[in-house]
Structure formats: structure tokens, C-alpha cells
Amino acid sequence: MDRKRRRLCLLASLLVVLLIIILGVVLGLTLNRDRDPLKRTFLDRCGKFKEYDCQNVWSIFEQAYVNKDPCNVPPEAYHPLIAAAPIIPACNRMMFWSKTKDVVHDFTNKRDCFITMEDTLLGSVLDGLRWCGEEGSTETFTTDCPGWSDCVNNPVRSFWNSVSAAFAKAACGQVTTMLNGSIDTPYSPSSVFASIEVKNLNSTTVQKLNVVLVIQKNAVTNCTNASLENLKKDLGEIQYDCKEVPESQIQECASDPEKPCGSCW
């Protein structure tokens, strides 16, 4: 009887040890995931793009900013990342925007008419996120990172400047941009669209830029706005067209899958 009890006690002890080990592993994995939420989000979003090795793309992305001063990450640091996940040209379907993000993405999410930077792999995995590194550390941080205007070469600003330039360089045929008709300067020289994207449009591959000036009830500008005249000049040999389109018309077209894309404005 004593021998049987000893066996049962030994078995119970082994089960307890095994349970502790399992709980430790699960807890360790959970804590590790919680320590790296950016990586988890990055890989989850990347998984929608089946043609890429997402772990490899993440590793190349990390190399741009990890163990670096968060105010000394130039746009060139992301060139290897763009080479690993290049922007694929989509002639006549590439959409740019400035101060109209919600309107544009509401439209592109409902209709397969245009492709924005945020629809590409690199734009998708990092949209709305913030990150940085620190000298002497191999970690990725998502808090206490410099903001867009805190320093010129911060990791987030440099990333978007770099991929936006690549997106513009890949543009071909007729391209479209949605600009905000409710502000005094829809084509602002400080915007990414003006300072990066327009400058990287290639007149040998891009024939025309179609401006959709999104008009709301409080519209303060139209297609004769002085800043749009500057846009026309900046385009050089690229043709230019501008249409004032009510936001309600864009929303209506987005909700009507039977309506041809070309008739939305």
C-alpha cells in the first residue's frame, strides 16, 4: 500500500512540475509577444501578402533604425527595405492624397478602382504606427519616440518620405490625387505630396495628373486656387486636370459597385 502511495505521489509531483513548465512557456511566449507589439502587428498585416517572406521583410525593416539615434535615421536607411518589397507599378490606378486620407481610403476600401501607398505591403504594415530604436539597444520602442516634426530624420518620417518617393517613381499612365477643398492651400509645399511625391513623378512614364478637389459644405477653394497653379507648374511636362467633386458624390459612388470607376467624377 505504501509503495502504491509513493508511486501516486511521484506521479502527482511529475504532473505538477510538467504543469509549471507548460505555464512558464505559455507565460514567457505571452510576455514576449506583449514586449514586441509592433512586430506582431507588422507580421499580422504582412501575412495578407502571400508572395513575401514576412520574417525577412521585418528583419530588413529593423536594420533601418535599431541601435540608432532616433533623430538620425535618414530616408536612405529604408532603401534595402524597399528593394526587398518593391512598389509594383499599377498604370492608371495609382492614387495620391493630401489632407483627404479618410475620404480616399473609404473609397478604395469599397471599390477596386485605385491603389494608394497604404494598399502596398510597406504602406499597409506600418500605417498609423510609430516606432524607433535607441543607441546601444537591440529593442524596438513604440513610446517616447520623436514625433513627425520633432526632428527631420526620425524613423517614421524618414520611412514615409522614402516609400512615398518610391510610390511616385513607380507611377505610370494617368495618376489621380484627392486634395482638400476645405482648406486655403490644398497643395501645400510642406506636404508629402508636394515635397516628395510630385517631385518624383517621371514625365516619361506619367502622362497626366487628375486632381479631384474634394468639396464639402464649408469649401473655401476651387480649381482656380493659387496653390493649384503652383502644382501645375511643378508638374512640368506632365498634363494637368482638375475637377471639383462633392464628397457626397464620392461616397455615393463608393457605395455603388455597378458604377464604372471613371464616372465617379
Q: Angle at the Cα of 212 (from 209 to 213), degrees rounded to 5?
A: 125
How does pLDDT run across 46-69, given as a tens digit for each residue?
999 999 999 999 999 999 999 999
* Domain 37-263 = CATH 2.40.50.140: no
pLDDT score of 30 more than 50: no
Higher-scoring residue by pLDDT: 88, 23: 88
Cell 471613371 identifies what position? 262
Does 15 have pLDDT greater than 70?
A: no
Looking up cell 499597409 gives 124
- Window from 10-19, 85-94, 223-232 with minimum mean pLDDT: 10-19
Residue 215, pLDDT above cutoff 80:
yes
Give the tens place of pLDDT for each residue, 108-151: 999 999 999 999 999 999 999 999 999 999 999 999 999 998 99
- CB count within 10 Å of CB 114 equals 21
- Residues ≥6 apart with Cβ < 8 Å to 10: none
Active site residues: 91, 172
Cβ neighbours for 245, distance < 8 A, ≥ 6 positions apart: 212, 213, 214, 215, 264, 265
